[in-house]
Chains A and B, each alone.
Chain A
Amino acid sequence: MTEGQGEREGAQRAREPLRVLVAEADEAHAREQTGGVLDLEGPLRRLGHDVTLEIHRDQGAALTALRGNHADLVVLDQALGEGFWRCLEAAREAAAPALAVVRDDDEAFALEAYRAGAADCVRLGEDFADLLPIAAFEQLRRLTHIQQRGEAARLGKTVDELRRYNQHIIQNMNSALVVVDPSARISYANPTAERLLGGEPGELMGSPLRRWFPSLEDDEILPLRTLADGAPYRGAEMVVARVDGRLIPIGMSCAPLIDGAGAREGVVAIFQDLTEIKQLERQVLQTEKMASIGQLAAGVAHEINNPMGFVHANLGQLSEYLDDLGKVWDRLEGLRAAAGSERIDADEVRRAAAELEAVIQEVDAGFLLRDFGTAIRESLEGSERIRSIVRDLRAFSYQDTGERVPTDVNRALDSTANIVWTMMKHSVVLTKQYDELPPISCHPVQLQQVFMNLLVNAYQAIEARAESEETLRGEIKLRTALEGDEVVIQVADNGTGIAPDVMKRIFDPFFTTKEVGVGMGLGLSTSFNLVEQLGGSLQVDSEVGRGSSFEVRLSLDPEDRVPARRAR
């Protein structure tokens, strides 16, 4: 054996493989998610480390592995359920840092995981593929940092390389990333952040974070909150001002930056430009509105067609009546001339009177005079009906100014219900029970869109049930009420009801159980978003074979509360 070989072997021994243990609930899921971790193998090998990646789907096996051999990093999925907590406990006992993979929207779970000792939480959002390796690196970096303090000289180079690799990811990721130092200034911004904010390279560096959020209060600027309380925040929408002054919507997550010794060094924030997403959202909203309006148009046209039909027919008849009464008038003139001449000729007067009498009989003048009034009354009723349909339609299609205005919820519901009712009046009884309500600050058009979606769904559910139950008496009950600080709007139907497996998905975009052309599957998801934007909630209660009840809750403006509250 040569000296060279001996050296290599010595080095090899020092490069213990890093064991990364992944515990996952479902295999396909696991493969998809651990793609990021698998990427660690290459770079770590370059550093002289091998990564052995163990994926466990069985929590028993995961626990045994955790307790048996030392793991350098443990990745645990929330979907493990109870197993998550047991594995986390085992990881803690084994002093192995644990990364929790948390559902995107489950902040509470993430907080609990932190509390139970998770080293970091990675949410399963769009960024997951970026975030997981970063989080894993961070943990491994700390690990190597701690492990190697004693042998810093020898391993200095490797730590450096690992840093450079980290840097590479951060420089090239699709999300903007900034680091904020404890004095609330930006101490690092990746190129995506510079592009997004429109600054020259380096321009962001050292600038106070507040400068970028002129429209927000301190406690609305997430990184400042994290700086203050050390807690991570995720997925909040904020408005950032670019260098050119343009305001753009962003979605931001941030976490405290902690050094190897556990002290806070500042905050790292990741964010994306939401401009395009917002535009898409608006388009979807418009499309959905158009689709529902298409469904309504036929009903409205039918509703206008009937009164239009008889008003038009009556006008034709009235004009004939007028002609006939004109004939009577002519004979009357004749009689007047005969009776009013200087020398009255009795025969002529008698003849004129007989002619008058004949034409009165011929045209049935008595009937004409009576029916003239009836026809006019019915026509007025018809035109009044058309007028009120147009008025409701106008209220309905009112251009949204994008501003919140004090809105009469009962009126918004009623005009929408009247319009939608035109298409279902043949099969549905509509009952209304409106409580007296104070105005709510919101976008009336959006509120009407929500009501329309709920009403159309209710109608369609009744129609679907009526197909198999001919005797069904369709019923939609509308109710509004003031409950404490909230306005409650209920739309209840006695349609098909919603099966539990469908229920789980009704708020998903594009989920529909209806035929192509009938349902787009966007009604409830857009409604949910609209109500959420108004700071309210949308809930459902349903039973198959009995019907469903959707409930919108909106809170009152603080100023409205006291004066508007009704005596109880």
Chain B
Amino acid sequence: MSELPVILLVDDERHILSALQRILRREGYELLTAASAGRAQEVLAERKVDLIVSDQKMPGTHGIDFFAELQRAGRRTPRVLLTGWPEEIPQRELDEAGVTALLPKPWDDAELKATLRRCLGLAEA
């Protein structure tokens, strides 16, 4: 049996992480969580991750800056930015941070699931 795709969920809001886990519970992923960009970096150092989903507004490093750091470090893992104000982030910054997809917050469950599948290169469910 092949290994499940690994998704790292990053949000400072515990209840958001737990809601995301609920939604993705039966999607056939292994889910990891981190409460900050710093914690996420630690997870990435230890585990092979196939997709990162991060909140934008977090204490310390914001999502977009976290992604930009990954990009500078040469990491190509697909990444999804969750933000309540998608239009606030200029396209140039999205490109520089290598953002694969933007998801609005609050999200639509079906859209969330479809986006993650697409980013992982999986067929539509």
Contacts and interface: CB of A to CB of B under 8 A. Distances in A.
Interface of A: 298, 301-302, 305-310, 312-314, 316-317, 371, 374-375, 378, 381-382, 425-427
B18 A309 contact: no
27 contacts: A301-B84, A302-B85, A305-B84, A305-B105, A306-B13, A307-B15, A309-B105, A309-B107, A310-B15, A310-B16, A310-B18, A310-B19, A312-B106, A313-B20, A313-B109, A314-B19, A317-B19, A317-B23, A374-B18, A375-B18, A378-B15, A381-B15, A382-B15, A425-B59, A426-B57, A426-B58, A426-B59
Contacts of A301: 84
Contacts of B23: 313, 316-317
A301 B106 CA distance: 12
Interface in B53-110: 57-60, 84-85, 105-107, 109
A294 B105 CA distance: 21
A313 B82 CA distance: 14
A313 B19 contact: yes
B44 to A, nearest CB: 22
A69 to B, nearest CB: 73
A200 B106 CA distance: 68
Given A313-B107, A317-B23, 15 more contacts: A302-B85, A305-B105, A306-B15, A306-B84, A309-B19, A309-B106, A312-B106, A313-B19, A313-B20, A313-B23, A317-B19, A374-B18, A381-B15, A382-B15, A426-B60
Contacts of A310: 13, 15-16, 18-19
A309 B57 CA distance: 14
B121 to A, nearest CB: 25
B16 A317 contact: no
A427 B59 contact: yes
B22 A314 contact: yes
A317 B105 contact: no
B59 A306 contact: no
Contacts, number: 57
Contacts of A371: 22
Given A301-B84, A426-B59, A306 B19 contact: no
Contact of A309 (B16, B58, B59, B85): B16
Contact of B106 (A298, A313, A375, A378): A313
Contact of A302 (B19, B59, B84): B84
Contacts of B60: 426
A382 B85 CA distance: 20
Interface SS, A side: helix
Nearest to A307: B15
A378 B13 CA distance: 11
Nearest to A367: B25
Contacts of A426: 57-60
Interface in B1-21: 13, 15-16, 18-20
A312 B22 CA distance: 12
A448 to B, nearest CB: 26
B116 to A, nearest CB: 14
A308 B15 CA distance: 11
A376 to B, nearest CB: 12
A525 B15 CA distance: 42
B22 A308 contact: no
Contacts of A313: 19-20, 22-23, 106-107, 109
A311 B47 CA distance: 30
Contacts of B18: 310, 374-375, 378
Nearest to B110: A316
A1 B60 CA distance: 100
Among A317, A374, A425, the one with the most B-chain Cβ atoms within 10 Å of its Cβ is A317
B22 A317 contact: yes
B51 to A, nearest CB: 19
Contacts of B106: 305, 308-309, 312-313
Among A301, A374, A381, A426, the one with the most B-chain Cβ atoms within 10 Å of its Cβ is A426
Contacts of A425: 59
A316 B59 contact: no
Given A313-B107, A317-B22, A371-B22, A306 B16 contact: yes
A130 to B, nearest CB: 54
Given A306-B13, A313-B106, A375 B22 contact: yes
A-B residue pairs, 5 tightest by C-beta: A309-B106, A310-B19, A313-B19, A305-B84, A317-B22
B57 A302 contact: yes
Contacts of B22: 313-314, 317, 371, 375
A309 B85 CA distance: 13
A381 B16 CA distance: 12
A375 B59 CA distance: 25
Contacts of B20: 313
Nearest to B12: A426
A375 to B, nearest CB: 7
Nearest to A304: B84
A309 B105 CA distance: 6
